[in-house]
Amino acid sequence: MVRAAVLPAVGAPLEITGIELPEPGPGQVRVRLAAAGVCHSDLSLSNGTMQVPVPAVLGHEGAGTVVSVGDGVTQVAPGDRVVLNWAPSCGTCHHCTIGEVWLCSSALKGAGRIHAVAEDGTELHPGLNVAAFAEETVVAANCVLPLPDGVPLTDAALLGCAVLTGFGAVHHSARVREGESVVVFGAGGVGLATLQSARIAGASTVIAVDVSPEKEELARRAGATEYVVASAITPKEIRKLTGGQGADVAVECVGRAETIRAAWESTRRGGRTTVVGIGGKDQQVTFNALELFHWGRTLSGCVYGNSDPARDLPVLAEHIRAGRLDLSALITGRIGLDGIPAAFEAMLAGKGGRALVVF
């Protein structure tokens, strides 16, 4: 038995309870978690904004050490340090064969399997494939990536979602060029990673926007050269900070209609707006045909940073070893499993960056 955070039903409180994990079968790996990040997507799963089979063990951003492997697993061995990959690519679907592995049609197939059994005998699913809110987990072998040397194992949990997403939004989706101006809406875990990535890309002006004045210090430590408290006139303030033109690139990390619209309006004519935040179906964003023509902006969605984790993880590790990427700067709380509900409340209140469950 291991302790885990279980979502019994959509909208229900998390239960911290014991679960029984099976031994890894063929093609599976058992991992002892060192840490797991509390992501907004976990909150979206718990409230039904995103749908997965329940009851489920949540948590999709984690890192740990391989305990044991099943038959046929050769890429990792017991004792290896690994990062969990919640969206593994199959390599054979249409998107995978054209290089868009982040859109793999089978990526979340594993969320429907039976992962573990609760103390009362209830069968549990693995949230977004990896069930990282637990002391240990059993995952498919393609859900683990070897952690490169020189990266702290605990903080490496953030590489599994927040950092890959933020880095990819800048480097793969928006393709920020040296000297460009970037505005980032939302200074949570993903937003802070996006700010660091914009600095790494060589952006000349990096503007952070958030509803909370208290996040300014966090944002500036991550690389923001300017900080704007969100309001109805935010796009006007962004234009003022960018010579009257608007930012070359806007990255929206919130997932709300008003912030997507504000990000769009903050982008210069011909600029790029990338939406990273996951919003609900009720968040309707409207544009008129004339403005689409006149402004010539590009608006794009961004899934998992449009990243290929196997390709990008070594790149991120090199930035960490060189001191360009600081994982600890994203973390504003180190908690136990019991602290996850409070971390959800802090997220809803717009407080802090990334909370990290440390085992």
- Residue 152 CA from chain centroid, whole number: 18
What's the pLDDT score for residue 324? 97
| Euclidean distance between CA atoms 268 and 57, whole angstroms | 43
What's the pLDDT score for residue 24? 97
Mind spelling out the 3-state secondary structure of 11-27? CCCCEEEEEECCCCCCC
What's the pLDDT score for residue 32? 98
| Euclidean distance between CA atoms 62 and 82, whole angstroms | 9
Q: From residue 252, how far is each of 58, 146, 187, 330 by CA, in Å? A: 24, 30, 10, 17
CA torsion through residues 36, 40, 45, 50, sign: negative
Closest CA to 271 of 241, 298, 238, 300: 298
Q: Give mean pLDDT in consecutive 10-residue pieces for the chain, a chain of 359 residues.
A: 95 95 97 96 89 93 98 97 96 96 94 94 95 98 96 97 97 98 97 98 98 96 97 98 98 96 98 95 94 96 96 97 96 96 92 95
Which run of H or E residues covers position 183?
strand 181-185
Neighbours of 227 (CB within 10 A): 18
| Euclidean distance between CA atoms 102 and 100, whole angstroms | 5
Question: How does strand 298-301 pair with strand 267-275?
Answer: parallel
Which run of H or E residues covers position 270?
strand 267-275
Asked if 168 and 274 count as a contact pair (C-beta separation under 8 A), the reply is no
What's the pLDDT score for residue 48? 87
What's the pLDDT score for residue 280? 87
Rounded to two decimals, what is the model's pTM? 0.95
What's the pLDDT score for residue 35? 98
DSSP string, 19-84: EEPPPP-TTEEEEEEEEEEE-HHHHHHHHTSS---SSEE---EEEEEEEEE-TT--S--TT-EEEE
Number of H helices, E strands in the chain: 10, 18
| Euclidean distance between CA atoms 63 and 202, whole angstroms | 29
